[in-house]
C-alpha cells in the first residue's frame, strides 16, 4: 500500500471539479470549430456576447486608482471600519433591519458561510437547505463534520414547497438544539428562484413558533450572493422582516462583492449578523473574528477600499449603478428569451425569477449533459437536472438552446424506452 500522511478526516474521494472540466471542454470546442458554433453555458460569471468576462468599468477604474498603501497594508481582522459601513449600505440599501447588526469581513460569500457554519452548529449537526442547492454547501459542511439535509424546493405545481420546508424544519428542531437553515435568495443558484415576501412571512412565522421553546437556537443563513441581479423593485424589502425577532433567532446574511461588482477573483464578502440581542451581536463579532484569525487572518484590503470608495461617494455610486443596470438588463433579456422559448416549445424548466442560472429538471443529468456536448452545447449536470448559465450566453444562443436541450432529453428518453422494450 502506498504511504499516506493526511489525517483520516482529511481524505476525500479524488474528484476533478466537474464544472471546471466541462468548461475546459467547451473552450476547446470553441477553439476547434469557432466560438459562434458553441454554446458554453457552464460559467457562473457575467460574460458579454463574445464570451468575454464582463468587468465593470466604474469598478475597475476606481480599483486602479487606489493608493498603493491602501492595497498593501494589513486590514483589521473584522474588516476596515469604512468597509463595514459600506457593506451595510450595499447590502441593505434602504431596507436595513432594526436591531443589533455586526459585519465581519470574509473571503467572498464562501468565507461567510464557513464562519456561520463553524460557529453556529455542532459537529454532527444537520444543516437544512433546499434539494436544489449550490454544491459547495456540502463541502463546507462535511469538512467540519456537519451534514446537509434538504427539503423539496418546489411542489408538483412548481410553487415554493413550504410544507416540505416546514416538515424538515420541525423534524430537525425535534432532534437538535440548533436549527441552521441556508436560504439562497433572491436569484437562487441554480434555479433562479426568489423567495417571495409572503413566503418569507411563513418562514419567519414558523421560526418564531419554534423559538417559543427557549432551548432552541434558530439560525437563518441568507445567502444573497446574487441579490444585485434581482429585478423586482423592492427585492430587498424582506430584510426589514429581520427586525425585532426573538432573541433565539439569529439571521446571518452572506454578502459577496463577487457578482454585484464583477469582483469574483478579489475574494471579498462579509457575514452580517442581525439580532435583537446585543450580547448575541457581540458574541457574533468575537466568534467570527476568532475564526478569521484562525482560518485566513484578515481579508483583501484593496477590495475593501474599493467598496468603501464607491459607497461613500454618491456620484461614483450612481455611475456604478448605471454600469451595473446595463448588465442587469442584458441578463434579464437573455433569461426572458430562454424562459419564453422554453415555454413556447414545451421544455420543462424550474420557475425562474432572477439571476445567473436557469435549471432544467431531468433524469440522468450526466448522460444528457454528454449528449448535449455532441450538439456543442455545454452546461452543468446537477443531481436532479441541468444548470444553464444565462449569465454567460448571448441572447441569440439563449433563443436556440431550449430546442437543443429538449431534443437531447427526448432522444435520451427514446433510447431508454427502446432499451426497456
Binding residues among 203-242 for its own copies as defined by CB under 8 A: 217, 219
What's phi and psi for 300, nearest 5 deg? Answer: -55, 105
Q: How far is the CB of 72 from its own copies (least distance, A)?
A: 4
Q: Using CB under 8 A, pick the residue from 12, 32, 329, 415 that binds its own copies.
A: 12
Q: Is there binding between residue 178 and its own copies (CB under 8 A)?
A: yes
**From its phi and psi, is residue 51 left (phi > 0), alpha (psi between -120 and 50) or beta?**
left
DSSP 185: -
- Contact residue for its own copies among 22, 299, 360, 405 (CB under 8 A): 299
Q: Which is nearer to its own copies, 9 or 318 (CB)?
A: 9
Choose which of 290, 336, 399, 406 interacts with its own copies (CB under 8 A).
290
In DSSP terms, which residues pair with 347 in a beta bridge? none
Distances in whole angstroms, Cα of residue 75 to Cα of each of 106, 241, 266, 299, 370: 12, 32, 14, 7, 46
Instruction: Report the DSSP beta bridge partners of residue 377.
Output: 39
CA 209 to chain centre: 28
In angstroms, the Cα distances linking 360 to 199, 254, 370, 391, 406 are 23, 26, 15, 16, 10
Residues 358, 388: Cα–Cα separation, whole Å:
5
Residue 404 engages its own copies in binding (rule: CB under 8 A): no
Residue 307 near its own copies by CB under 8 A: no
- Tell me 271's DSSP state: E
Interface residue with its own copies, options 31, 147, 293, 415 (CB under 8 A):
293
C-alpha cell at 203: 418562514
Site for its own copies in 248-287 (CB under 8 A): 248, 250, 262-267, 275, 277-280, 282-284, 286-287
Judged by CB under 8 A, how many residues of this single chain contact its own copies? 82
Instruction: Considering only residues 146 through 175, tell me which ones interact with its own copies, judged by CB under 8 A.
Output: none
- Residue 235 or residue 248: which is nearer to its own copies going by CB? 248
If binding is defined by CB under 8 A, does position 18 make contact with its own copies?
Answer: no
Q: What angle, 0 to 180 degrees and rounded to 10, lies between the N-to-C axes of helices 314-345 and 301-312?
A: 100
Closer to its own copies by Cβ: residue 283 or 395: 283
Which of 50, 64, 124, 346 touches its own copies by CB under 8 A? 64
Q: Of 38, 127, 140, 401, which lies in the binding site for its own copies, with binding defined by CB under 8 A?
A: 140
| Residue pointed to by grid coordinates 421553546 | 213
The footprint of its own copies on residues 72-91 (CB under 8 A) is 72-77
27 sits near its own copies (criterion: CB under 8 A): no
Instruction: State how far the Cα of 293 lies from the Cα of 295, in Å rounded to an integer.
Output: 6
Site mask for its own copies (CB under 8 A), range 327-366, x = bound: ----------------------------------------
Torsion angle, alpha carbons of 286, 288, 294, 299, to 10: -110
Return the residue of 298, 308, 337, 359 that touches its own copies, per CB under 8 A: 298
Asked if 139 interacts with its own copies (CB under 8 A), we say yes
CB–CB of 120/250 below 8 Å?
yes
3-state secondary structure of 387: strand
Q: Which of 121, 173, 194, 337 binds its own copies (CB under 8 A)?
A: 121
> Shortest approach of its own copies to residue 13 CB, angstroms?
8
Give CA–CA dist 339/299, Å, rounded: 39
Amino acid at each position: 500500500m502506498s504511504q499516506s500522511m493526511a489525517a483520516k478526516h482529511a481524505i476525500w474521494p479524488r474528484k476533478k471539479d466537474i464544472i471546471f472540466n466541462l468548461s475546459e471542454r467547451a473552450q476547446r470546442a470553441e477553439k476547434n470549430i469557432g466560438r459562434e458554433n458553441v454554446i458554453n453555458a457552464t460559467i457562473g460569471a457575467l460574460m458579454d456576447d463574445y464570451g468575454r468576462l464582463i468587468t465593470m468599468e466604474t469598478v475597475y477604474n476606481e480599483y486602479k486608482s487606489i493608493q498603493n498603501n491602501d492595497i498593501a497594508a494589513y486590514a483589521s481582522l473584522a474588516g476596515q471600519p469604512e468597509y463595514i459601513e459600506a457593506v451595510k449600505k450595499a447590502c441593505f440599501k434602504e431596507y436595513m433591519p432594526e436591531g443589533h447588526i455586526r459585519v465581519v469581513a470574509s473571503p467572498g460569500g464562501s468565507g461567510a458561510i464557513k464562519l456561520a457554519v463553524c460557529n453556529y452548529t455542532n459537529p454532527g449537526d444537520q444543516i437544512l437547505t433546499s434539494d436544489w442547492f449550490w454544491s459547495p454547501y456540502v463541502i463546507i459542511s462535511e469538512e467540519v463534520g456537519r451534514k446537509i439535509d434538504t427539503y423539496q424546493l418546489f411542489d408538483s405545481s412548481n410553487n415554493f414547497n413550504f410544507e416540505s420546508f416546514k416538515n424538515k424544519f420541525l423534524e430537525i428542531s425535534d432532534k437538535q438544539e440548533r436549527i441552521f437553515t441556508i436560504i439562497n435568495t433572491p436569484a437562487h443558484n441554480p434555479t433562479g428562484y426568489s423567495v417571495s415576501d409572503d413566503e418569507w412571512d411563513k418562514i419567519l412565522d414558523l421560526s418564531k413558533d419554534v423559538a417559543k421553546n427557549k432551548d432552541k437556537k434558530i439560525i437563518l443563513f441568507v445567502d444573497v450572493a446574487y441579490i444585485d441581479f434581482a429585478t423586482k423593485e423592492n427585492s430587498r424589502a424582506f430584510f426589514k422582516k429581520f427586525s425585532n425577532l426573538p432573541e433565539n433567532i439569529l439571521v446571518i446574511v452572506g454578502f459577496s462583492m463577487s457578482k454585484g461588482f464583477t469582483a469574483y477573483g478579489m475574494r471579498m464578502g462579509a457575514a452580517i449578523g442581525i439580532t435583537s440581542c446585543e450580547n448575541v451581536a457581540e458574541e457574533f463579532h468575537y466568534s467570527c473574528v476568532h475564526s478569521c484569525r484562525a482560518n485566513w487572518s484578515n481579508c483583501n484590503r484593496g477590495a475593501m477600499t474599493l467598496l468603501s470608495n464607491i459607497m461613500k461617494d454618491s456620484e461614483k455610486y450612481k455611475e456604478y449603478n448605471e454600469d451595473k443596470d446595463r448588465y442587469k438588463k442584458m441578463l434579464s433579456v437573455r433569461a426572458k428569451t430562454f424562459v419564453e422559448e422554453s415555454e413556447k416549445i414545451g421544455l420543462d424548466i424550474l420557475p425562474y425569477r432572477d439571476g445567473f442560472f436557469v435549471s432544467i429538471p431531468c433524469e440522468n443529468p450526466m448522460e444528457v449533459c454528454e449528449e448535449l456536448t455532441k450538439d456543442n452545447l455545454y452546461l452543468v449536470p446537477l443531481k436532479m437536472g441541468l444548470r444553464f448559465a444565462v449569465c454567460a450566453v448571448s441572447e441569440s444562443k439563449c433563443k436556440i438552446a431550449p430546442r437543443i436541450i429538449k431534443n437531447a432529453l427526448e432522444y435520451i428518453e427514446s433510447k431508454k424506452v427502446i432499451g426497456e422494450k
